[in-house]
């Protein structure tokens, strides 16, 4: 790697203009302008660039888009395509490895209270953990931000923060987490590592959580035995929560989440350890909830939405999942507790998040040091 850097440095000194032309536009050049799909030809437009590893997004009622950058910035993408300066009022984050400023979501009653929620890797204690807080969006800034929940304990390491935020029909928050690459704690209910937590908008354990009467368990936990969850969405047709989580070497999973269920990590997995050591397959331990769909090779799922729009009626009811290593948008159909991959749109860039726009088009974030916001629409739409 050091030799490669040396060669690039020498080339840059010799041909600075030429090399910049080769390197700078590559993020946009790799992305096709159109892609074929079951819904016909899909047009791909890059609306904004030069975002440092954008991670999450949410549409404001005005049609503007809030976008997080993992480095710790929150910006507004105007309908004109103009990108704002970083907004004030964002919390300090541990911007290291997979950590940083993560997801953004609007309160279900945003029109009345203007609350915006942010998940992030919060430094402190022995290292960091996933946290979520909220503040009021006012005058193009976040006011009076405060943390409402933090994953405990805080541990060392830069990986597996999870961080997706979704709301159920009762306006409770589901925050996905990772096990911080610590493995065994995902089976221990006395901590939040490798869990989905279900909390109120004030950050308390929601009424009806499965472990509130267990004095040895964290009362916020809804499900556990997870590895790293960066994709979550409710199916509006059924009200069921689905998540896609990253496996180790192989074995990415799409899971239907059930109250109090244990999803088996690290005891079972459809993948294997990075050193090649085997992990028993889930059917060997029927007490654990198994995946509805699993992928080997992995897709590295990040970001998910159930499509409900009119622009692509062929996709209505499908889950659309972003793929990092697969560099694709994956469409999955679900039926009860079963699921199957219906198609894969190759985009040639790492897809970090997926969001449905008010007009039914799709917005994607690309995970790059100079990442972009992509809009997928029908040709001519």
The predicted-structure confidence for 291-319, as pLDDT tens digits, reads as follows 999 999 999 999 999 999 999 999 999 99
Mean pLDDT of the chain: 93
Inform me whether the pLDDT recorded for 53 exceeds 80: yes
Instruction: Please determine, for residue 57, whether its predicted confidence score (pLDDT) is greater than 60.
Output: yes
Give the rounded percent of residues in the chain with a pLDDT score beyond 90.
91
Kindly tell me if the per-residue pLDDT of 170 is higher than 90: yes
**CA gap 336, 35 in Å, rounded:** 30
Q: What is the mean pLDDT of residues 247-262?
A: 98
Q: Which of 1-5, 80-84, 328-332 has the lowest mean pLDDT?
A: 1-5
pLDDT at 381: 59
Q: Is 160 assigned a catalytic role? A: yes
- Backbone phi, psi, residue 371, to 5°: -80, 170
What pLDDT is stored for residue 160 in this prediction?
Answer: 98
CB 231, CB 321: distance < 8 Å: yes
Phi, psi of 5 (to 5 degrees): -60, -40
Reported as a single tens digit per residue, the pLDDT across 208-218 is 999 999 999 99
For residue 151, is pLDDT > 80? yes
**In the CATH scheme, what architecture does the domain 28-378 have?**
6 Propeller (2.120)
First to last CA, the chain: 44
Q: Which tens digits make up the pLDDT trace of 97-140?
A: 999 999 999 999 999 999 999 999 999 988 999 999 999 999 99
**Predicted confidence band at 6 (pLDDT cuts at 50, 70, 90)?**
very low
**How many CB atoms neighbour CB 369 within 10 A?**
10
Sign of CA dihedral 285, 289, 292, 295: negative
Q: Which residue has the tokens 């991670």?
A: 55
pLDDT of residue 12: 41
pLDDT value for 29: 46
Give me 261's structure tokens: 């269920």
**pLDDT for the residue 380:** 67
- What six digits make up the tokens of 160? 């597996």
The pLDDT, as a whole number, for residue 143 is: 98
- Does the pLDDT of residue 195 top 90, yes or no? yes
Model pLDDT, residue 2: 43
pLDDT of 198 strictly over 70: yes
Catalytic residue among 53, 160, 192, 226: 160
Where along the chain do its domains lie? Answer: 28-378
Q: Is the pLDDT of residue 267 over 70?
A: yes
Q: Is the pLDDT of residue 162 over 90?
A: yes
């Amino acid at each position: 790697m050091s030799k490669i850097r040396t060669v690039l440095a020498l080339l840059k000194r010799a041909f600075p203009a030429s090399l910049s032309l080769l390197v700078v536009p590559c993020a946009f050049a790799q992305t096709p302008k159109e892609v074929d799909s079951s819904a016909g030809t899909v047009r791909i437009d890059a609306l904004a660039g030069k975002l440092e590893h954008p991670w999450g997004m949410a549409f404001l009622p005005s049609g503007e888009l809030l976008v997080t950058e993992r480095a710790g910035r929150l910006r507004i993408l105007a309908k004109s395509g103009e990108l704002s300066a970083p907004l004030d009022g964002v919390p300090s984050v541990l911007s290291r490895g997979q950590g940083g400023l993560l997801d953004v979501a609007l309160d279900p009653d945003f029109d009345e209270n203007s609350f915006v929620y942010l998940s992030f890797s919060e430094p402190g204690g022995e290292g960091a953990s996933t946290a979520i807080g909220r503040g009021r969006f006012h005058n193009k800034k976040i006011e009076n931000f405060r943390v409402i929940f933090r994953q405990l304990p805080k541990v060392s390491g830069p990986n597996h923060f999870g961080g997706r935020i979704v709301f159920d029909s009762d306006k409770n928050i589901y925050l996905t987490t990772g096990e911080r690459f610590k493995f065994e704690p995902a089976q221990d209910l006395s901590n939040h590592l490798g869990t989905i937590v279900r909390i109120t908008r004030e950050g308390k354990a929601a009424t009806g959580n499965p472990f509130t009467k267990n004095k040895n368990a964290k009362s916020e936990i809804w499900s556990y035995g997870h590895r790293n969850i960066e994709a979550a969405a409710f199916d509006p047709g059924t009200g069921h929560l689905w998540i896609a989580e990253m496996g180790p070497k192989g074995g990415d999973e799409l899971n239907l989440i059930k109250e109090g269920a244990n999803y088996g990590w690290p005891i079972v997995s459809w993948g294997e350890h990075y050193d090649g050591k085997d992990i028993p397959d889930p059917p060997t331990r029927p007490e654990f909830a198994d995946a509805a769909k699993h992928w080997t090779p992995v897709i590295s799922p990040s970001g998910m939405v159930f499509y409900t729009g009119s622009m692509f009626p062929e996709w209505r009811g499908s889950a659309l999942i972003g793929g990092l290593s697969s560099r694709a948008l994956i469409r999955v159909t679900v039926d009860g507790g079963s699921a199957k991959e219906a198609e894969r749109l190759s985009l040639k860039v790492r897809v970090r998040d997926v969001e449905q726009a008010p007009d039914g088009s799709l917005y994607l974030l690309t995970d790059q040091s100079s990442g972009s916001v992509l809009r997928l629409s029908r040709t001519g739409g």
